[in-house]
Every structure is written in structure tokens, then in C-alpha cells.
Amino acid sequence: MAGERRILLVGLGLIGGSLAAALRAAGHRGEILACDRDSNEICLGQRMGLIDGGSTQLAALVPGASLIVLCVPVMAMQSVMAELAPLLEDDAVITDVGSTKGAIRDAALGVFGRMPPNLVLGHPIAGSEKSGVAASNPELYRDHKVILTPEPDSDVEAVARVAAMWSVCGAQLLSMSVARHDEVLARTSHLPHLLAFSLVDSLARQDERLEIFRYAAGGFRDFTRIAGSDPVMWRDVYLANRDAVLEALDEFEAGVARVRAAVTAGDGEAMLGIFTRASHARHYFNTLLKQTSYQTMEQQNVRYRALPGGQVQGRIRVPGDKSMSHRSIMLGALATGVTEVEGFLEGEDSLATLQAFRDMGVVIEGPHQGRVTIHGVGLNGLKQPPGPLYVGNSGTAMRLFAGLLAGQAFDTELTGDASLTKRPMDRVANPLREMGAVIDTADNGRPPLRIHGGQPLKGIRYEMPMASAQVKSCLLLAGLYAEGETRAIEPAPTRDHTERMLNGFGYKVERQGAEAWLNGGGSLEACPIDVPADISSATFFLVAAAITPGSDLVLEHVGINPTRIGVINILKAMGADLSVSNEREVGGEPVADLHIRYAPLKGIDIPEDQVPLAIDEFPALFIAAANAEGMTRLRGAEELRVKESDRIQVMADGLAQIGVEHEVVADGIDIRGGAYGGGLVDSHGDHRIAMAFSVAALRAQGEILIDDCANVATSFPNFVALAAEVGMQVENLGAVAPGQEAS
């Protein structure tokens, strides 16, 4: 912004005045001028200190202007551009604030004959019921989005200069095409305003309108607030973006017709489906506004600070098992009847799975304090979703979805976050193709997955090249829809939650040795599910207590499925004082309380037969090894390299940052225990690595800062709070710039 010698605002109302105010507040030292047809607005802007001068005539202001911002109504853009065209200097950059872009681009084409490279169209998503320069607000754009719609041949420097202007105002920059902008805004802004205007106008026409308004409550006020916006501006918007608005209105009218039909028929379940989908879509929208979700449009670096010292004591229950939470929703949706789930993990990944089934027409109530009610639609009752199914950071969800969607009659696309798009999916796509599925992947077998429906599937006997519960489960779920028997043979035991839960839903799955199989064509019947506490989440606290003198901790109701207890076996082998009590079975799954007290650990050679039973727990176990006497050696763990990150290398890099002696090999790592310091660690968006180094700080000689921790919400949303409850000192510092030093 330092290079903008003179900024010219064409139109000095709320938007232009607030832009001037924001630039002044940010310390912009260049000249700010304004052109407005109302000389009183210009005088007021000068008295308020927003502008240095102005005129009602453009010709007097354009010479010397390096950045020109068009803040006039959309329908006035063409005449303003026509007046500007002969006055522009070669280095002048032009942008605008219009809420439709197609009409403004058409206006530019009409005036200039092409889109000038120095014209960068933009739209700040901000406003107020008030209007005029008197309502100017220097904070109007702070933390609000500004969408730029550059053309393929737009001048790069011009785009950068416009972006810099909005950035100093505190805005968040997004970029999209003109057509996409108008389509999105028609649905999210233009349609809501249209409905608000229409509702208030309808009520105002009634004879008893005064009585109606007198008794209107806060909901009416909140919904209709935007009907107080500038009518002329909105008239112009609807004229300029007519086609997209009409398309959005058609979709809305179809939705209203569905609600009306449900109310007319007294169809409570249909109403519940509509209302629950809407309620949770609104919740998701709210997370975007508050930037509390890793699904936000902007990638943010969330940093943790973990301090040394403290003890780990008390009794806690960690969140529900993520693997079982995913499966409870999937099988409950495919069952006949109503499935009640207790202990559901309300993390981002599990919620993404839940939302995906809502998008496919399943009515789901909750979650509320871990309780979810699923109104199953049967194996063949899913409906085509309106768009791609987003599964967040979860490889489990994507691979299991691939299996059950391969048998549907409709096409689907599976997408996820940036981390998930790097993970291999051919391991499920290839055997599904052997069964007859038609699946497209991105380069190198990565997501997104495009699954073509309507393909007849046949059961296969598949010898898995890797020990993966996700691959096994994918094949069994596809086998529900396949002709004949589907059989998966695994090279080493993996978690068997899918087999247990299918049997719980009345679908017979047989197992003998390394093989699991089922026959297609059956059905699932609803049953209650009690999700035990996740042993993967419990592991961070097991290790925390194991390495910290004076610790004494009980973890309640933890799932101890025989295919998941590698971490217990490994810690015991290292000398941990760990006992299992109150063993019982809940919903077909074994659970128990785990009691752990501090005891000195010793390094071991981790038995390879335990690796598949602890594959998700190794980031925390690496921290146990760093605090053990002697050397700990891990081999046969190639699978760690294709998790949310290359967990072997990323953990090794973090260990190096805090001074832990180690050596990486292709399928594992050697870690020598001893004293270590603090430092700045990059978790590479891997939630388990972020939590592992939070635990490491307990025995560090200095604080550990951990970057890229936003994805902790995927599996353990209350990790920081539980850590504080047991005596750890972990602080969420919020979003910071990558590499920024902490104050």
C-alpha cells in the first residue's frame, strides 16, 4: 500500500467511506480522494477526516490516481467506466465493490471492448442496515471476506495491489471465477435478502399488520433485519444477477414445496429430516464464521504451547472411539429401524461422516452429549447427495465410504481436506474394481474418488498386501451389495470393529484365522450402540502418566478390543505400571478401566506382531521411548508413512528439534532415551503428532511450541481441557503465522 500515491473512491457511501476509514486507521499515508454526486457527502467525509478532498466531477480527480475503487451501484458501473476510460493513466489500477460480477464484467466489455488487465473485480462481503458516509466504520471489513475475481490475463501486479489494499483493512482474501461468484452469492446473499423483503412486504399488506408486528419476537427481527437494506441497491442487484437469482429461487420454492407436503401429510419424520439437516448445516455455517473448524476456506496455523513440569493425576474418560463412531453412523444408516448411539465422538471427522449421511437422505438426531439417533433407511435406501461428500481428515471414512458407495445406484464423489488428498486410495479402489466397481481417482491413486453407481458387484477372495482394517472393512461393506461371498485375508491381525458391529446389527460375518467373510444380499436390523472411550486418545494420557514422576491416573471405560491393545502390551513391556480392571463387555466390545502410575521405562525392541495392534498409537509411544532408558527399536511399521502424515519422518523431525537422539530406517526408527529440551515442532497437520509433543513437554527442559494443530479437533476436540484437568500445561494459542515466534 505504500506505493499507492492517490486512491480515488468513486462513490462515498457506507462502503466507500468505511474503506477510507479503514485505510486511515491502518496508517495509509497516501492521498485519498472521493467523487460523489452528492457534494454534502464529500464535505462530510472531509470533516470526518476520511478523505483529503473530492468533487462531483470525475475529470478533476482521475489524473494522478494510482488506484481507483468503484463504489457505485451495479447499474451505474457502465456509465462511470465510460466516463473514466479517456481519463485513465497507464499505471492506474481499477477495482470495484459490486455484489454481482457478471454484469460489471459485461459493462467493462461494453466500454473497453475487452477486460483491461488492470481492472480487477472484487466484492467485500460486508455491509450494514445504515447507509451514507456518516455510517462509515473502520472495522467494517475486519475479519470479513473479500472475493476477487481476476481474469486469466489480469495483470499480476494489479491483482496484488488490490489484494494489499483489502489486506491492510483486515479483510480475508478469496479468489474465484466471475460465474462461480454470482452463483454462490445468489444463494447465500441475494436470495435471503429477497425472501426478507418479500416476507415483510407480505405482512405489511395485511389489514392487521400493526398487531402482527407488535407481537413479533426476536426470530422475526433477526430474519427480517436485512429487509432494512438499501432498496435501490438491491433492485440493481436482482436486475444484474437475474438468472442466478431465479435459479436459486426455483431451488428454494422446491424446498418450500417439500416442507408444505410434509406438513400437509402430517409426515413428522420428513419434517424432522428437513429440520435436522438445516439445523446442522447452520451449525457448520457458524463454525465457518467463527473459524472454529478445519473445514474453513482459509487454512490457519493453530499453535499449541506446552510447558514442562507437573504431574498427571485423577480419573477421566476420553472421547468415544473414532473408528466405532464412524461405523455406528454407517451401519445405523443402512439398517432398518432406529439405532440409538451412546458415546459418539463429536469430533470433526465423525461429524463429517454424520453430515454425509444426512446429505444422502438419512434422518439423524443429535449429536447431543454423545447421543445420536439414526433413522435407518435400509441397505438400498440412500439417495444421491446434492454434491461431493466431504469426509474431512478421515482416511477411515473415505475408505469405508468407498466400499458402501460402490454398491449404490447413483454416482458419488468423495473429497477431504488437504491432508487427506495426499493419502493413497488405490489400496481400496483396486480390489473394488476387481468386484466390478467403476472408480476414478486423481493422480497416483489419490482423492478425490469418483464412484460410478449402478454397477453389479461380485464377491471376491482378496489377499490384502498390507495389514489394514480400513481395506478389510471397505471390502466387507462392498460385499453387502455383492453377489456371492466376499472374503478378505489379512497378513496380520487388524481391528475387527466392522465384523463385530455387523454381527451386532444381525448381519452374519464369519472369521477363521486371518480370514473374514460374508455373503451379500442380507439386511441389517437396528440395535443400540455404546461407543467405548478411544484407546488411541487414551494413549496420550497413558504415556503422560508413564513418563512423569508422581503420576497416578485412571482412564475409564476404555475399549480394549484384542485387535487394539498393542499399546498396552508395549508399555507393559517397557516397564510401565499399568493395570486393567473392571473388565466387561458393552455392545459386543470389551471395555475396562486402565490404571497407570509412574515407573521408570526401559527401551525395547518392539515385537513386530504388536505393530498392527498399535499402529495409530506410535506417535505417543515414540515419546515414551524418548523417556526410556536405552534404545527402543521399531521395525515393520511402513504403514506409518501413509497416515495423516509420514509419521515416522515427521516425528523424527520433531524429535530432532527438541534434541532426542534417533535414527530413521525405511520401516521404522531407533530412539535413544535421555534428557531433551524445548523447541518449535511442526506437526504437519497431524493431530496425533501435535498431541504427542504436547505430552513430551512434561519432561522437557523448556517449552515446546507445536504448529499446525487445528486437526486435533478431528479426533479429540477436548484434548486441551482434559490435559489441564489432569495437571498438564497445554495452551491453545490460536492462529499464528507459520514460523512466528511466540511472545
Nearest to 633, CA basis, from 673, 690, 598, 693:
673
CA dihedral 23, 26, 27, 32 (to 10 degrees): 0
Give, for 165, the enclosing helix (H) or strand (E): helix 156-168
Between the CA of residue 297 and those of 103, 287, 288, 294, what are the distances in Å?
A: 26, 11, 8, 9
Q: Is it true that the peptide bond before 448 is cis, omega within 30 degrees of 0?
A: yes
Question: Any alpha helices (H) in 266-394, and if so which ranges?
Answer: 268-290, 322-334, 348-359
Cβ–Cβ under 8 Å, residues 594 and 554: yes
Binding residues for phosphoenolpyruvate: 322, 395, 423, 470, 647, 688
Sign of CA dihedral 420, 422, 426, 427: negative
SS3 category, 110: helix
Rounded to whole angstroms, the Cα distance separating 510 from 504 reads: 13
Which one of the listed residues 96, 616, 686, 708 is annotated catalytic?
Answer: 616
Cell of 549: 514422576
- Residue 464, Cβ neighbours under 10 Å: how many? 18
User: How far is residue 627 CA from its own chain's centroid?
Assistant: 34
Burial of 232 (0-12, 13-18, 19+ CB in 10 A): exposed
Which amino acid does the sequence have at 455?
Answer: Q
CA distance 270 to 264: 11
Tell me, yes or no, if 411 is annotated catalytic. Answer: no
CA–CA distance, 639 with 643 (Å, rounded to integer) = 7
| Grid cell of 408 as nine digits | 449404490
Q: List the beta strands (DSSP E) in 401-469.
A: 412-415, 438-440, 449-452, 457-458, 461-463
CA dist., res. 250 & res. 714, Å (int): 36
Nearest to 464 by CA among 639, 263, 670, 340: 639
47 CB neighbour count, 10 Å cutoff: 10
Q: From the centroid of its chain, how far is CA 519?
A: 36
Rounded CA separation 16/71 (Å): 6
Binding annotation for 3-phosphoshikimate: 322-323, 327, 468, 470, 616, 643
270 vs 373: CA distance, rounded Å: 15
- The strand pair at 661-665 and 122-124 is best described as unpaired
Active-site annotation, residues: 616
